[in-house]
Amino acid sequence: MKKYIPKEIEKKWQAKWEKEGLYRAPDESKKPKYYCLDMFPYPSGDGLHVGHFKGYCATDVISRYLRMKGYNVLHPMGWDAFGLPAENYAIKTGVHPRITTQKAIEKIKKQMQKAGFSYDWSREINTTDPAYYRWTQWIFLKLFEKGLAYEVEAPINWCPSCKTGLANEEVVAGKCERCETKVTKKNLRQWALKITKYADRLLEDLKDLDWPEFIKLMQENWISRSEGVEVDFKVKSYKDSLRVFTTRPDTLFGATFMVLAPEHELVDKITTPDQEKEVEGYVKKTLAKSDLERVEEKVKTGVFTGAYAVNPVNGQKIPIWIADYVLSNYGTGAIMAVPAHDERDWEFAKKYNLAIIEVISGGSVDKETYIGEGKLVNSGQFSSLHSTEAIAKITSWLEKKGLGEKAVNYKLRDWLFSRQRYWGEPIPIVHCPKCGAQAVEEKDLPIKLPDVKKYQPTGTGESPLASIPEFVNTKCPKCGGPAKRETNTMPQWAGSCWYYLRYCDTENNTKLVDSKIEKYWLASRSPKGVGGVDWYVGGAEHAVLHLLYARFWHKFLFDIGVVSEKEPFLKLRNVGLVLGEGGIKMSKSRGNVIAPDVIIKKYGADTLRLYELFMGPFDQSIAWDSKSVEGGNRFLYRVWDLVMTVISNPTSPRASRDEQVTSLEMERLINQLIKKVEDDIAEMKFNTAIAKMMEFLNEAQGLKDKISVSVIKPFVQVLAPFAPHIAEELWQGIEKGSVHQTSWPIYDKKMLIEEKVVIPIQVNGKVRDQITIEFGVSDEEVAKMAKESERIKRYLSDKKVIKTIVVPNKLINLVVE
Ligand code: ANZ
Ligand code: ZN
């Protein structure tokens, strides 16, 4: 009998599949389409580890399975190659990022090919390819044209280590998302994208997506829409009013002081001379803090300005303070403080001895604040209304008097879009001293990133591109006069905002994507009419970065008619981490990174794939376990042995009665297996699908010489998406052609259930008899049969059955007095 030598068969089949283009997806087909996508990796010089591969193993099973189910499956791969990781790596090694990136891509591609992933490599893309980023730049031009890309000069998040500005989304707990350095502020001229204009749609359309709830919630919280009222308070002795944003106009009568953000424009003006020094000192201290620090600070601090405001509902004179818990960039940067019903205001009032007036009944406000809704008290004409009603009434009262108006606020900020770094897409803008910022003409795209020797960040706030006169000096596209190119580059998220579109039409030189092709691959398959990528798999760390940015760009592209669906990714699933042995995070510094290459070399790709999927629930973090890898490997040897035995002995033995029974059992098992694998793939329960295969194998092994090829054939087919190489090799002994081009076996529903089972009958928990029942009969039927048993009757005799417990198909317990 031939031996199982993974190394030989895997290489052989990989070459053959690629040569025959087995996994190419045509743009036109009678088959229904299915778009199954991985989040593409950034090519790091170290290559990928087994954690990255877990998701790819899963999408590969899905893609292979769906092909067998008759779909035309688009399953592409590419490289998210611009950005800080690649650039930082290049800086560390002293080799140009173009070269390190290219090398890394070659390495990773080889890793993937060795794993036997069924990508359509004819559609490979690379975000640093000028033919690709030409369209990234084109999208920027369109955004600029529509007024959605604009310049601002403002204090921005600045990473002193990466020496670049960062978007809010890239600042995690006050630190740089990349290098974990504490983020500071820097005043810089910047490009920003008006993602806030899409806030409502980004929120609204979440509901139609088949995404993990926690990701939707994270996006919701990130955008955070808040409905309220803006109210004007007169400042005493000044013409100025102070505008505040509140979500609780029902508490207006309880406003006992005002708080301005220290940066508020009125601070200088209204501060009285005797308070000036203190106020100035406090403002200075505030500017050194990040927003996050300000929000999270345990002890509230602040300073009185010396000025007073007038509460418009009751004419009360209330002091105006400044405090850093009020942020300058939210709402109006000023609040009316209602200590009785707001936690922060309560703490502040207690600390500085400010008045606390209860206006919503429900709590006891001298001990603590009551933030809930309730009946209004101490609120003049509005007293005794309930909050909900009062909110409406007070709002319209304010509107009628011209003292306020409804307002909506979002936590979402516009997307800071320029980076002072080299390794990114140049922003296609020219600055002309006469005409200002001008878009580069479409025909001049791509604006190529110049090949330079010095790509280190300058730290001055300028990109390294600024020191290349040949790049910088150009002509104004409008007036033809001398002008300078924008030297900032795009953030690393730009290329990944639309890459799934390019896979559909990688070679197109005249359009980002052909409309007909786009309509085919991204058409809606959901009853809610939401289209896009049918199934998207990747890490949860992208919840509010890539996944939010891509939705924004997609909606914009929808608005300008480039795409025909309003959402990019219909179904999203997260892959859990693969932890190092012992359960600690895999990292280079800990030296516990496991490269797929090592496992493949030792056991073969099929073992690696099988193990990655068998580890445990797909979305959970699970530690690597070398012993289990060997278990997976042994399973494949046993599969080989079984199938080889069956196919080399195809003439069925003379069928005795016993053997007929055996084959019926096997028939049932294989039908159950087909169904189980189908159901489990749909829910990404790969581990239980594989467990069922193992169960099948165990049963089958004892009956080796009695198993017919008709049973073993579908077994090899269901194994194929998981362990494609061994399945392909074994298939050759069964039929001509590739197992991956066969149709998925159809299970026979009638064969799913066991016909008969023997179950024990217990009386008061002790086994007294057993009965043979039809599988799946009703509990009442089982109870009736049990009570009819002669032996049981003896135990029951004159006693009364007070409870009957049936574990379906397992046991029955009669409880008697
Ligand atoms: C009075 C009030 C009474 C408030 C009350 C709350 C409870 P969200 O849901 O986050 O929008 N606020 C407004 N602008 C702020 C700023 N720039 N910095 C810090 N806090 C600010 O919360 C809105 C509430 O947060 C507003 O409603 C305001 O306090 C505060 F019983 O006004 B409220
Ligand atoms: Zn000009």
- Note the pLDDT tens digit of each residue in 309-322: 999 999 999 999 99
pLDDT attached to residue 525:
76
CB 342 near ligand 1, within 6 Å? yes
Q: What is residue 305's predicted lDDT score, i.e. its pLDDT?
A: 98
Question: Which residue's alpha carbon is nearest to atom 7 within ligand 1?
Answer: 342
Q: Render pLDDT for 263-288 as a digit per residue (tens, 0 to 9).
A: 999 999 999 999 999 999 999 999 87
Domains of the chain, CATH where assigned: 137-221+417-485 (3.40.50.620), 225-410 (3.90.740.10), 754-816 (3.10.20.590)
Chain centroid to CA 77:
18
For the stretch 774-787, pLDDT in tens is 776 788 889 999 98
Whose Cα sits closest to atom 9 in ligand 1?
226
Whose Cα sits closest to atom 10 in ligand 1?
Answer: 226
Cα gap 721→678, rounded to integer Å: 11
The confidence score (pLDDT) of residue 242 equals 97
In whole numbers, what is the pLDDT of the chain averaged over residues? 93
**Could you give the 3-state DSSP secondary structure of residue 407?**
strand
Ligand 1 lined by 40 (C-beta under 6 Å):
no
Give residue 226 CA to ligand 1 midpoint distance, Å.
10
pLDDT score of 92: 83
State pLDDT tens for residues 440-471.
999 999 999 998 888 888 878 888 899 899 99
**Kindly report the CA angle at 208 between 207 and 211, in degrees rounded to 5?**
80
Say if ligand 1 is within 6 A of residue 245 CB. Answer: yes
Tell me the CA–centroid distance for residue 434 and ligand 2, in Å. Answer: 5
Express as a percent the part of the chain with pLDDT over 90: 75
Ligand 1 pocket mutation pick from 330, 346, 413 by most atoms within 8 angstroms of CB: 330
Distance CA 612, CA 53 (A): 8
Cβ of 247 below 6 Å from ligand 1: yes
How many Å lie between the centroid of ligand 2 and the Cα of residue 286?
A: 41
Q: How far is the CA of 247 from the centre of ligand 1 (A)?
A: 6
- Give the integer Cα–Cα distance in Å for 635 and 646: 17
The greatest distance separating any two alpha carbons of the chain, rounded to the nearest whole angstrom, comes to 110
333 lines ligand 1 (CB under 6 A): yes
* 617-662 pLDDT per residue, tens: 999 999 999 999 999 999 999 999 999 998 887 555 444 555 555 6
Q: Which residues contact 87 (CB under 8 A, 6 or more apart)?
A: 97, 421, 422, 423, 455
Lowest mean pLDDT among 25-29, 487-491, 583-587, 598-602: 583-587
Q: Which residues contact 549 (CB under 8 A, 6 or more apart)?
A: 169, 195, 415, 493, 496, 497
**Helix, strand, coil proportions of the chain in percent (round to 5)?**
40, 20, 40
Q: Per DSSP, what are the bridge partners of residue 245?
A: 230
C-alpha torsion 99→102→107→108, nearest 10 = 140
Nearest-ligand number for the alpha carbon of 483 = 2
What is the separation, in whole angstroms, between the first and last Cα of the chain?
64
For 501-525, b where at least 16 C-beta lie within 10 A, e where not — what string? bbbbbbeeeeebbeeebbbbbbebb
Q: What is the pLDDT of residues 431-442, one digit of tens each?
A: 999 999 999 999
Pocket mutation for ligand 1, best pick of 231, 244, 245 (most atoms within 8 Å of C-beta) = 245
What pLDDT, on a 0 to 100 scale, did the predictor assign at position 590?
85
pLDDT score for 757? 82
- Return the pLDDT at 8: 95
* Total H helices, total E strands in the chain: 25, 29
Q: How many angstroms is it from 492 CA to the middle of ligand 2?
A: 30
- pLDDT value of residue 653: 47
Reported as a single tens digit per residue, the pLDDT across 216-227 is 999 999 999 999
* Nearest residue by C-alpha to atom 8 in ligand 1: 226
DSSP assignments along 234-278, one per residue: EETTSS-EEEEEES-GGGGGG--EEEE-TT-TTHHHH--GGGHHH
- The pLDDT value given to residue 776: 67
pLDDT > 90? residue 680:
yes
At 268, list the tokens. 């200088």
pLDDT at 704 over 70: no
pLDDT in tens, 57-82: 999 999 999 999 999 999 999 999 99
pLDDT of residue 754: 66
Per residue in 77-128, pLDDT (tens digit) is 999 999 887 888 788 888 999 999 999 999 999 999 999 999 999 999 999 9
pLDDT of residue 654: 45
In this prediction, residues 233-252 reach a mean pLDDT of: 96
Q: For atom 1 of ligand 1, which residue has the closest CA?
A: 246
Among 245-249, 257-261, 660-664, the least confident range: 660-664
Q: Is residue 618 within 6 Å of ligand 1 at its C-beta? A: no
Measured between alpha carbons, how far is residue 607 from residues 560, 599, 790 in Å?
47, 8, 54
- Greatest mean pLDDT among 28-32, 35-39, 754-758 lies in 35-39
CA distances from 814 to 365, 760, 783, 796, 797 (A): 60, 11, 8, 9, 13
DSSP bridge partners of 475: 482
Task: Please tell me which residue, 773 or 740, carries the higher pLDDT value.
Answer: 740
Q: Verify whether ligand 1 is closer than 6 Å to residue 407 (CB atom).
A: no
Backbone φ, ψ for residue 803 (5° rounding)? -155, 140
Rounded CA-CA distance 579/796 in Å is: 57
Measured from the CB, is residue 97 less than 6 Å from ligand 1? no
Which residue minimizes the CA distance to atom 18 of ligand 1?
Answer: 326
d(CA 69, CA 524): 19
476 C-alpha to ligand 1 centroid (Å)? 47
Whether the Cβ atoms of residue 216 and residue 234 lie closer than 8 Å to each other:
no
Task: Give which of 263, 376, 244 is closest to 309, Cα–Cα.
Answer: 244
Lowest-pLDDT range of 40-49, 80-89, 435-444, 523-532: 523-532
What pLDDT sits at residue 717? 98
Contact 554, 568 (CB under 8 A): yes
102 Cβ below 6 A of ligand 1: no
- Ligand nearest to the Cα of 331, by number: 1
| 78 contacts 40 by C-beta, under 8 angstroms | yes
* Tens of pLDDT, residues 506-520: 999 999 999 999 999
322: CA distance to ligand 1 center in Å? 15
Is residue 366 within 8 Å of residue 375, measured between CB atoms?
A: no
Residue 419 near residue 463, CB atoms below 8 Å: yes
Question: Residue with the nearest Cα to atom 29 of ligand 1?
Answer: 246
335 lines ligand 1 (CB under 6 A): yes
- Mutation test of ligand 1: which of 225, 229, 242, 248 has the most ligand atoms closer than 8 Å to its C-beta? 248
Residue range 545-572: average pLDDT?
96
- For residue 758, is it left (φ>0), alpha (ψ between -120 and 50) or beta? beta
At residue 793, does pLDDT exceed 50? yes
**CA 194 to ligand 2 center in whole angstroms:** 25
Q: Tell me if 493 CB under 6 Å of ligand 1.
A: no
Does 706 score more than 80 pLDDT? Answer: no
Best mutation site among 246, 256, 369 for ligand 1, i.e. most ligand atoms within 8 A of its Cβ? 246
Closest ligand 1 atom to residue 325 Cα is 19
Residue 247 has pLDDT above 90, yes or no: yes
